[in-house]
């Protein structure tokens, strides 16, 4: 069984993420994982192609999770024909927006709930619904039309407009002048639901445009126009699909690139689940189960739990002017002070959230959030020797006039800024 142990050691991380994304209780998840490994060991001789070990292991994990939810359904006296994994587990870190859908359904009458359930959740054709309910097809159509109208009226999120897909506010060609002034007031706690590094809140009906500006030229380098298209699932985990249209102004032909993301917002965390992009004419799908391709660029937190949405000052990062010291721990993200940010003729009361080398070793950022949890200004700093093999010079030599931060005794140099259409 040396082959089994080698393969399990290589791919058990994918199985762990798969199970832990579905089961809210860590103890239950660990129990299920032990069942998965035992079943894989017992059935290993039946696996003909050892190169298929990873999907084979995931299929065992999927079956064990299904068994778990069936047992829970029986304990809770939920009819098996209505069993849906989302009804019992909303994700490892809390309740997702699917709860809002269910709450809206509960606010409708029994007939409306019934017709919407059969049409959208069971995906039955209208003729089959008419047969099951023993009512005329015309009655099904009229009842479905009325139920959709009532659901739309009660649903708290605005639907995405089908017209003017990317009708965003126009961002300026040059970065507006701004002033950052320290405040003597204590930093406030804030609910921050934006996608880390992308600024959009992953909720139905949301859209946003944001731009990157090189410093000190202040010229716009790229603009991203983003919107949430609808609900999506990745390996059974509920989220929303997001389209990002990026236009580069640093190249003469201004190329446009499209990227699709799937993200999840819960009561406590916000995280990426998958990304889709074109590579030499091939659509590539990368998900949270793809360790090497996904986690270094899109993952954050232990087991990719995501960034916390309920932010308060923890003391992990301490700032005094441009001098910054931090705790020796992974995923450093903390509120470091309160600041008045004046930009585009307005002054915003903000807290500064600093991120120290979480995605990329040698990169730090300042993110100024108002009391609504929206980004007013985002600034990136590079450690002086960051990517020196590529750029051949230290950043203090490339950008001698740019601002410096001194983080744990190392020099970081201001590179570029981002703003969103929220401040326009």
Q: Do domains 2-88 and 178-423 have the same CATH topology?
A: no
Topology of the domain covering 178-423? YmcC-like fold (2.40.360)
Higher pLDDT residue, 124 or 142?
142
Give the mean pLDDT of 401-411: 96
With a cut of 60, say whether residue 73 has pLDDT above it: no
With a cut of 50, say whether residue 159 has pLDDT above it: no
CATH class held by domain 98-154: mainly alpha
pLDDT in tens, 374-398: 999 999 999 999 989 989 999 999 9
With a cut of 60, say whether residue 345 has pLDDT above it: yes
Q: What per-residue confidence (pLDDT) applies to 256?
A: 82
With a cut of 90, say whether residue 298 has pLDDT above it: no
Point out the least confidently predicted range of 149-158, 281-290, 331-340, 356-365: 149-158
Point out the least confidently predicted range of 38-42, 311-315, 341-345: 38-42
Spans of all domains in the chain: 2-88, 98-154, 178-423
Point out the least confidently predicted range of 50-59, 96-105, 228-237, 352-361: 96-105
Mean pLDDT value across the chain: 84
* Prediction pTM value: 0.68
- Secondary structure (H, E, C), the chain: CHHHHHHHHHHHHHHHHHHHCCCCCHHHHHHHHHHHHHHHHHHHHHCCCHHHHHHHHHHHHHHHHHHHHHHHHHHCCCCHHHCCHHHHCCCCCCCCCHHHHHHHHHCCCHHHHHHHHHHHHCCCCHHHHHHHHCCCHHHHHHHHHHHHHHHHHHCCCCCCCCCCCCCCCCCCCECCCEEEEECCCCCCCEECCCCCCCCCCCCCCCEEEEEEEECCCCEEEEEEEEEEEEEEEECCEEEEEEEEEEEECCCCCCCEEEEEEEEEECCCEEEEEEEEEEECCEEEEEECCCHHHHHHHHCCCHHHCCEECEECCCCCEEEECCEEEECCCCCEEEEEEEEEEEECCEEEEEEEEEEECCCCCCEEEEEEECCCCCEEEEEEEEECCCCHHHHCCCHHHHCCCCCEEEECCEEEEEEEEEEEHHHC
Q: What per-residue confidence (pLDDT) applies to 237?
A: 83
Topology of the domain covering 2-88? Rna Polymerase Sigma Factor; Chain: A (1.10.1740)
pLDDT in tens, 161-206: 444 444 556 899 999 999 999 999 999 999 999 999 899 999 998 9
Point out the least confidently predicted range of 87-91, 108-112, 402-406: 87-91
């Amino acid at each position: 069984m040396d082959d089994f142990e080698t393969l399990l050691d290589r791919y058990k991380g994918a199985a762990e993420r798969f199970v832990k994304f579905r089961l809210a209780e860590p103890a239950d998840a660990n129990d299920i994982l032990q069942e998965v490994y035992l079943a894989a060991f017992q059935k290993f001789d039946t696996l003909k192609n050892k190169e298929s070990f990873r999907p084979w292991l995931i299929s065992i994990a999927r079956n064990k999770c299904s068994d778990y939810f069936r047992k829970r359904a029986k304990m809770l006296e939920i009819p098996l024909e209505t069993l849906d994994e989302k009804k019992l587990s909303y994700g490892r870190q809390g309740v997702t927006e699917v709860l809002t859908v269910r709450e809206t359904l509960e606010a409708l009458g029994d007939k409306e709930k019934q017709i919407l359930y059969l049409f959208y959740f069971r995906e039955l054709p209208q003729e089959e619904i008419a047969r099951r309910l023993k009512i005329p097809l015309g009655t099904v159509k009229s009842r479905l039309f009325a139920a959709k109208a009532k659901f739309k009226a009660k649903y708290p999120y605005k639907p995405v407009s089908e017209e003017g897909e990317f009708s965003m506010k126009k961002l300026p060609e040059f970065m507006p002048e701004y002033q950052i002034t320290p405040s003597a007031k204590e930093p406030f706690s804030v609910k921050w639901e934006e996608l880390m590094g992308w600024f959009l809140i992953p909720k139905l009906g949301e859209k946003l445009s944001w731009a990157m500006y090189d410093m000190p030229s202040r010229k716009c380098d790229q603009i991203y126009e983003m919107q949430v298209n609808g609900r999506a699932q990745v390996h059974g985990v509920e989220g929303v699909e997001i389209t990002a249209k990026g236009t580069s102004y640093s190249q003469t032909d201004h190329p446009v690139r499209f990227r699709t993301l799937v993200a999840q917002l819960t009561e406590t965390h916000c995280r990426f689940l998958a990304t889709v992009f074109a590579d030499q004419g091939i659509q590539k799908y990368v998900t949270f189960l793809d360790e090497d391709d996904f986690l270094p660029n899109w993952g954050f937190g232990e087991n990719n739990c995501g960034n916390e949405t309920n932010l308060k000052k923890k003391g992990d990062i301490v700032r005094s002017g441009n001098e910054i010291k931090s705790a020796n721990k992974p995923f450093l993200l903390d509120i470091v002070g309160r600041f008045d940010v004046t930009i585009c003729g307005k002054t915003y009361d903000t807290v500064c959230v600093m991120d120290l080398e979480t995605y990329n070793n040698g990169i730090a950022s300042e993110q100024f959030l108002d009391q609504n949890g929206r980004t007013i200004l985002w600034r990136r700093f590079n450690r002086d020797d960051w990517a020196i093999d590529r750029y051949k010079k230290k950043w203090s030599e490339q950008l001698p006039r740019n601002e410096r931060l001194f983080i744990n005794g190392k020099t970081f140099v201001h590179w570029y800024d981002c703003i969103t259409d929220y401040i326009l």
